[in-house]
Structure 1
Amino acid sequence: MGTGPEGLGLPAVGERQSLREQVAQALRSALVAGEMRPGVVYSAPVLAAQFGVSATPVREAMLDLAKEGLVEAVRNKGFRVSVMSERDLEEITELRRLIEVPTVARLADSGRAPDFQELRPLAQEIVAAARRTDLLGYVNADLRFHLELLALSGNAHLVEVIRNLRGRARLYGLKGLADRGLLADAAREHVEVLDALVRGDRQAAERIMTHHIEHMRGIWSSGPG
């Protein structure tokens, strides 16, 4: 097993929120993007050097992720990324279909067009990240888009449920799609769902969201090879 996270491209972190929270969020993004691999042991000092912080907030953040079941502690070595099974992902995908598809479809209302248009720059940011093969940028913008769109339902608990589900996903196939120039296809679905919502086309919004969730499941199933 390896001990170093070379090539993760982890960002330096600042002071706007606690270092622990910033590191935890950055690590979640790397996990979801498949940048951190199952079976690899990541040491807090090595990760801390990439973040440009001390090892303490990194250890604290990793312990938070361990409580969420995303990593597991390896005594005197660091933390290993937890492995997700096909069944795990199928259950996450089913929950997302049950929650997100009808919620987004119910939002379709041309009278709310200004609300949807506010999300258009974020949808375009997702497309731009896909084109430049910025996987962490893609994952972060994608998460923000979905959560902000769902927030228009006015149900904060629903948004938090989806946030937690998304944090457990692994999109190992993202890099392969990006390398083949296909990630932009998934990215454009964010723009398409906004177009449907602006038109008040509930059926189209439902169809696009269903396809998008299945699309992302297929990316995960591409495997970590």
Structure 2
Amino acid sequence: MAGNGAVTRNTLRQQIADALRDEVLAGRLPPGTEFTVKQIAEQYEVSATPVREALVDLSAQGLLESATYKGFRVRVFSVADFRGMVEARSLIVDGIFRQLVERGTAAGATERLVSVRRRAEEAMRAARSGSLEVLIGYDLRFWRELSGLVGNAYITEFLHRLRVQCWVFAVPHLQREAQLGSALWSGHSELVDAVTRADANEVHRLVHAYNQHALDWAAGLEEAGA
């Protein structure tokens, strides 16, 4: 019975963490929003223990931070933070694609590329139509599955957390964009094609363009005083 209770609690902990992460990524819990364990427990009608554990998990992922009176706050990232994230992810992604192109993919990757391509197509359509919340879901899955082709779970998980943080910063600003479609990168399918062909030059060009797109967008925010 004790084991079953632990499994249930851990499952609930993950469900609460996932739900809160989705709320943050959708902009329904904007940066700076404060709340307590008690408030979240009442909202989801659960006990405090799995809520506290979920909030500690999200804090460890860099999405929350301690607030006044032992509560939590959605972390506020600056433009400088975002630039640092882009630099970090560019180094990781560069390494991932260098391995994919030069050394090949992990076993079973051919079948997984089919799934990656589907994610890419959905992400591309969402980006071009300006469907931000839909894009975020497919974009995160796309990069998780694509980075997973190298067969290193540590790299995949680190990149995923970094990308979630990038979206946490970007969402409030993107929601105010008048022409959202033009502000979103949509080169997912081109990137999968280049990886499939093992075209190192094209992969490098696309990844560079992707990172530069993010940096140019951040520079525009600074100029606008965001």
Q: Normalising by structure 1, report the TM-score.
A: 0.72
Q: Which runs of 5+ in 2 are unaligned?
A: 1-7
Q: 1:114 to 1:192 in 2, by over 3 A?
A: same
Structure 2 CA distance for aligned equivalents of residues 134 and 45 of structure 1: 33
Q: What is the root-mean-square deviation in Å for CA atoms of aligned residues?
A: 3.5
Residue 54 of structure 1 is matched in structure 2 by 46
**CA separation of 1:135 and 1:59: change in aligned 2, threshold 3 A:** farther
* Gap change, CA 1:86 and 1:189, over 3 Å in 2: same
Q: Structure 1 residues 54 and 127 mapped into 2: Cα distance closer, same or farther (>3 Å)?
A: farther
1:117 aligned counterpart, secondary structure: helix
Tell me the equivalent position of 1:9: none
1:150 aligns with 2:147: yes
Please tell me whether the aligned partners of residues 124 and 187 of structure 2 are also in contact (alpha carbons under 8 angstroms).
Answer: no
Q: Which amino acid aligns with 1:198?
A: T
Change (3 A) 1:92 1:140: same
**SS of match in other structure, 1:22:** helix
Q: Residue type of the partner of 2:123?
A: I
Distance in 2 between residues matched to 1:27 and 1:54, nearest whole Å: 14
Partner of 1:40: 33
Output the CA distance in 2 between the equivalents of 1:113 and 1:127.
21
The Cα offsets for residues 162-188 of structure 1, whole Å up to 9 and x where unpaired, read as 1232233221333245x52416851x3
Q: Partner residue of 1:174?
A: 174
Matched residue SS, 2:146: helix
- The reply to whether residue 80 of structure 1 matches residue 73 of structure 2 is yes
Q: Deviations over 1:122-173 (max 9, x none)?
A: 1122234446655343222211111111111122222122123223322133
CA distance in structure 2 between the aligned counterparts of 1:149 and 1:197, rounded to whole angstroms: 10
Q: Could you say what secondary structure the match of 2:121 adopts?
A: helix
Q: Deviations over 1:69-128 (max 9, x none)?
A: 422233458421222233322222112111102422442489976543331111122234
Q: Which residue of 2 aligns with 1:212?
A: 210
Mapping of 1:70-219 within 5 angstroms? 70-75=63-68, 78-108=71-101, 115-130=112-127, 134-169=131-166, 170-172=169-171, 173-177=173-177, 180-182=179-181, 185-186=184-185, 188-219=186-217
Q: Which runs of 5+ in 1 are unaligned?
A: 1-14
Q: Which amino acid aligns with 1:148?
A: E
The whole-number CA distance in structure 1 between the counterparts of 2:36 and 2:150 is 41
Asked if 2 retains the 8 angstrom alpha-carbon contact of 1:41 and 1:77, the reply is no
3-state DSSP of counterpart to 1:182: helix
CA contact (8 A) 1:32 1:171 kept: no
- Quick check: 2:83–2:218 contact (8 Å CA) kept in 1? no
Q: 1:181 to 1:85 in 2, by over 3 A?
A: closer
Q: Which structure carries more helix by proportion?
A: 2
C-alpha change, 1:54 and 1:131, in structure 2 (3 Å) is farther
SS in 2 for 1:72: strand
TM-score (norm 2): 0.71
